[in-house]
Each structure stands twice: as structure tokens, then as C-alpha cells.
Structure 1
Amino acid sequence: MTIGVIIVTYRCRDLALAALHSIQTHAPDLLPTTVVVDNASLDGTVQAVRQAFPTVRIIEHRRNLGFAAAVNRGIQELAQAEVLCLLNPDAELLDDGIFAAAHYLQTHPEVGVLGGRILNPDGSIQPSARAFPSHYNALFNRHSLLTKLFPHNRWSRQYLMTDWDHHDTRPVDWVSGAFMLLHRRALQAVGPFDPAYFFSIEDVDFCRRVHQAGLQVHYYPGAAVRHRIGGSSRRAVYRAMAGHHRGMWRYYRKHLRGNPFLDILTASGIALRLALHATSYTFRAAPARLLRRQPR
């Protein structure tokens, strides 16, 4: 069984080196089948990776094609791999469980996608296995005010699956692309990732298509990573926000659209959410920008 690892980078040199170092530490045999797909970082990422990890394959894009398109290029490069692992550059392997996870996929033909255990930097569980989005998630998603004010309400718990300690293997709706393993059978069943998703939501869409093809998505706690949310997008915050919300609308149009009134309400809600997030970030980031501009 051949395992391939795909890491998509954009202006995150130090994070990418840390991710690769974690592979070198816990799964060194996978470095020759690891592909770094760089979306025109222009920050020395490619040169640093080439120097520190000469056996890692590197694909350089002249412009930022987005996450899904870059993943697809990595899949093409690793055409002989039976199991593929998507690893964010802001994530680091914490053990060698990737081999056990791949074996699980290989020996469970009903499963197409597997998600590992993802931890926050403080060691707490990151809700990376969730229910499929629906309209009420606009009020009870991870970043919503109601979830922050009432984190134990049943709707947020249901969507984020926080009632479960994440210590057992089980079927779920979807798992995060920050640390996702997929078997070749899933790609044969549904094709590659949808490249129209520039950043975010492509993992939800892929898992939904896997379900529709008759395969299952499982959460598997035997492989763990530490993930710094937003670490790989901090150099392009507004573009990441826009990409995320465009992805929300695309997902809705592909899988949930039907009622004209709800279509208008959903589109307006997504646009309003983007405006609020961008405004909030602008005000929160303003003091730091002012400090950087002050003469020393």
C-alpha cells in the first residue's frame, strides 16, 4: 500500500517546514511520497523546502489557484498512491498513526474518507468532524454569537458534535481537510475536488459527494495532528474570508437550493456574514497595524 501526502502552501514557509519536520519525525518513509503544491508564495517557501527536504516533490504554480485546484494537482502527481493524506501546512503530525489510519481505509472497503483527531495548540479537541450544514447552522456554527454565548445549546452541539469525546471511531457526515485521508476508491467514485471552491468548504462538498456515491466517511482517533486554525491563511485574511463565503454559496447552490425565498434569504445572509466578519477583523487588527507603523 502506497501512501501519499499532499501539502498546499501559500506564503507560509515556516509553517510548511514545521509540518514537513513532523513527517520526518513520525513517518520519515513518507517524505519521498510527499508533494508540496505551492500557490505562488514568493516568500522563499519552495527554496526552503527544497533545501531542507530534498526528497519531497515540489510543484510550483505561477499564480494562486486556490486550495482545491492545488490538491487536485497533487492527486495527479501521486497517481500510484492508494491512500492520500491532505495535511495543512499549519498542522503537524503528533504520532505515526497515519499508517494505522491508512490500513483502516485499506481494510474497510465501505469507507472512502477518513478524518484523524485534530487538536488545538493547547491540546483540546478541535471539532473537525461535523454534521452537514443546513440553514440553522447560520445561527449555531462554530463562530456564531449564539454558539459563543450558549456553547452547550443542543443545536450547536449537534452540528459541531461536541457531545462526543472523539475517542472512538465512528461514521460522520464530513471531516476537515486539514487532516483528511482518502482512498483511491473515493476518487474513482466521485472524481477530484471541485476546483470552483477557492478556499474552504471543498472538504464538506467532497464528503457529501462521497456519501452520495454510496461510500462512508469515518472519524478515526488513532492518528492525531496539532492544528493552528488560520495559520496558513493569515497572509491573505480578506481573500480567505471571501473565498470561504463564496464556497458557502456554491455549496448551497449545489446541494440545498430549491426554494426561491430561501435562496434570496441565504444569499443575503452569506453576504451579511462576510461583511460582519470583514468589519470585525478590520477593527480588531487596526491597533496592531498602528503599532507597526509607529517609528522606532
Structure 2
Amino acid sequence: MTSPSHGTQSECAVSIVIVNWNTRDILRDCLISISRQTRKPHEVIVVDNASSDGSVDLVRDEFPDVRLIANDTNRGFAAANNQGLEIARGDNLLLLNPDTIILDDAIDTMLDWLDQHPDVGCAGCQVLEDETTIQRTCFADPGPGNLALIEFGLHRLSRRNPLLARAEYGDWDRRSQREVDVVSGMFMLVPRHVFEAVGLLDEAFFVYSEEADWCRRIRDAGWKCVFTPTARILHLEGGGKSTAQIRSRMYVQMQKSKMIYLRKHYGLWGLFRGRMVFVGSSVLRFVMSVANQREEAAARRRLARASLRYHLTSQEPTE
């Protein structure tokens, strides 16, 4: 696809949109890193989803140049990002998580890289969990087949087997550039002309899977989604949580979003197949952990029960 240059000749090379919810201290570190590591003309837009930890006061008091939208309620990740995107003025648009730290002029570097790749509609950079560990960001389209590989743990059986590893690109170490289906949502850089062609994020996704849907629409419109290790950021929550720390409400919300994605892009048959995958994998997890009394096993049973309740009765957990 031919397109105009992504150049950074206007007064604002990039609008950086950050959705925040009760991450005051790490938000401060993120904003400081942007200021210190970004020299190209830019603006930062923080959309706060009704935080109760003083995040709004932090931005107002310590970062007066940041454009702040303070919501009275938690509108969800996609809707809050859209609020920022709608007022953004930059030639490029960057969705950035608040639990990230910009390293080594990463945003400037990615803008230069994007300017040299006019066929790219969404770009992601290398993400570190610590000084030596590269997070396995980006993943394949979350259709029914790839969903089954993940839910039944088949993607872990052999990271050297391209067939089994394809759902999360398990045979790739993230040290090389690669075209991907989905750029992970903690750092998504999109040229303005691509955004204007594709549109806002789908607010049917309260949280989770919105980046998969956006990337799908970008690819369907003829652009590539690409990961490049040209630049690096640090993801403070990159290590993830243990099973015992995962709340049933968010666990089911993740599955709900995946079901919305399947219905939208794979139709009723895809939706049915996805539901059967979640039911089958939940039953398997419950059965395999029933004789184990350790905390992690108890958490697996709790999550499995919540999943089965949702898929069989449409009842969502409240906690």
C-alpha cells in the first residue's frame, strides 16, 4: 500500500496516550521517562479512569504540560484510549501503558523507523522485563485454533515446533524484526493517516482483545503490523501475576473479550468453538487440580469455576 510519509515535520510528531487506573507511582516514573528520553515534539495525554489513589492530583501538580482527562467512572481501556485519540494532535499516535519506562530515546527511534517503513500501520518495539529478560510480546490472531493451543497449554509443549508454538510465536526470541498479527498493547505506534482510515478502538471491548481487533482492522485495510527490536522499553509488570493473584472478575473479563472478538471476526461458528474451548479447558484445569491442596491449585479451581459459571450461565463474578 502506498501512503504519504510518516514524517515528523509538524509541531507535534507524536501524541502519547496513556490510560491510567490507580497506578500513581509508576505513572510518575513513566511520565518522567518520556520527558527525559523524548526530544521530538510531542504531547502526552493521560486519561484517568476514576482512580482513587491520587493519580489525577499527581498529574495536575507535577506535570502541568500533560493534557489530562479525568473520568468520573471507569470507562474501560478501549473507551478511555479513544478519549485521548479524539483530541490528539500528533502526526503519529502512541498508545502506551503507564507501567512502562522509555529507554534510550525509544520513542524518537521508533518514529524514525516508522518514517522509513510506509507500509507499516502499527509498530511495536522490544519490551524488557528487567535488564536481561526480553518479554515475549506480540502474538498471532486469536482465532479458535490458536485459542485452543493456549487454553489447553499445547503452546508450551514445544517452543521449537512452529505448529504448536504459533499462537504466541513461541519459537521466536524477539531479537529480530518480524511481521506479526497483533502488536502488544503496552506500546502501539500508529501513523495518523492509518488511524484516520481505520478509526477508533472498538468500545465493545472493556479491557483485553482491543489491540487484537485494532491490529486486525489495520491488516485488513492493507497495512502491516510489525515488531522491531530497534528500540526498547521496560515493562514493570512484565513478569505477570501468579495464578493466586488473578481475580476471577478480570479472568472472566479476559475470556468475555475473546468471545466478543471471535463473534466479530469468526461469526457464530467461531463463537461456539471458542465457548467449547473455554468450557473444556476449565473442566480439565479443575479436574487436574482437585487433588492438590496448595494455594496455586486452589486458585486454578476458583478460576475454572468462575469460567464455567460464565460460559454456562452468563453469570459474571463480582470480585
Query: Please, what TM-score do these two structures have when normalized by structure 1?
Result: 0.83
Pair 101,196 (structure 1): closer, same or farther in 2 beyond 3 Å: same
Kindly indicate whether residue 16 of structure 2 is the aligned counterpart of residue 16 of structure 1: no
Kindly indicate whether residue 246 of structure 2 is the aligned counterpart of residue 250 of structure 1: no
CA distance in 2, matches of 1:86, 1:251: 20
Q: Which residue of 1 aligns with 2:43?
A: 33
Pair 153,188 (structure 1): closer, same or farther in 2 beyond 3 Å: same
User: What letter corresponds to residue 82 of structure 1 in structure 2?
Assistant: D
Question: 1:284 deviation in Å?
Answer: 4.6
Residue 165 of structure 2, aligned match among 157, 162, 165 = 157
Residue 198 of structure 1, aligned match among 198, 206, 216 = 206
Contact 2:147 2:167 survives alignment (8 Å): no
Q: Which residue of 1 aligns with 2:107?
A: 98
Aligned counterparts, 1:165-180, within 5 A: 165-180=173-188
Question: 1:255 deviation in Å?
Answer: 0.8
Residue 190 of structure 2, aligned match among 161, 164, 182 = 182
Kindly indicate whether residue 297 of structure 2 is the aligned counterpart of residue 269 of structure 1: no
Pair 273,188 (structure 1): closer, same or farther in 2 beyond 3 Å: farther
Residue-by-residue CA offset, 1:43-100 (whole Å, 9 max, x unaligned):
101111222222111110010011011111111121x211111111111112202112
CA distance in 2, matches of 1:82, 1:74: 14
Pair 258,246 (structure 1): closer, same or farther in 2 beyond 3 Å: closer
Question: 1:223 deviation in Å?
Answer: 1.7
Question: 1:4 deviation in Å?
Answer: 1.1
Contact 1:116 1:223 survives alignment (8 Å): yes
CA distance in 2, matches of 1:274, 1:60: 38
| Residue aligned with 1:129, SS | coil
Please list every run of 5 or more consecutive structure 2 residues that lacks an aligned counterpart in the other structure. 1-7, 290-294, 301-319
Contact 2:14 2:43 survives alignment (8 Å): yes
Contact 2:159 2:171 survives alignment (8 Å): no
Aligned counterparts, 1:1-296, within 5 A: 1=8, 2-27=13-38, 33-78=43-88, 80-121=89-130, 123-141=132-150, 145-148=153-156, 150-227=158-235, 228-229=237-238, 237-259=247-269, 263-270=271-278, 283-284=298-299
CA distance in 1, matches of 2:95, 2:282: 27
Query: Please, what TM-score do these two structures have when normalized by structure 2?
Result: 0.77
Contact 1:39 1:70 survives alignment (8 Å): yes
Contact 1:242 1:274 survives alignment (8 Å): no
Question: 1:164 deviation in Å?
Answer: 2.8
Q: Looking at both structures, which has the greater relative contact order when contacts are Cα pairs under 8 Å and sequence separation is at least 6?
A: 1
CA distance in 2, matches of 1:61, 1:236: 25
Contact 1:97 1:224 survives alignment (8 Å): yes
Question: 1:163 deviation in Å?
Answer: 2.5
Pair 283,91 (structure 1): closer, same or farther in 2 beyond 3 Å: farther
Question: 1:216 deviation in Å?
Answer: 1.3
Pair 83,273 (structure 1): closer, same or farther in 2 beyond 3 Å: farther
Please list every run of 5 or more consecutive structure 1 residues that lacks an aligned counterpart in the other structure. 286-296
Question: 1:201 deviation in Å?
Answer: 0.6
Contact 1:140 1:155 survives alignment (8 Å): no
User: What letter corresponds to residue 106 of structure 1 in structure 2?
Assistant: D
Question: 1:186 deviation in Å?
Answer: 1.6
Question: 1:235 deviation in Å?
Answer: 10
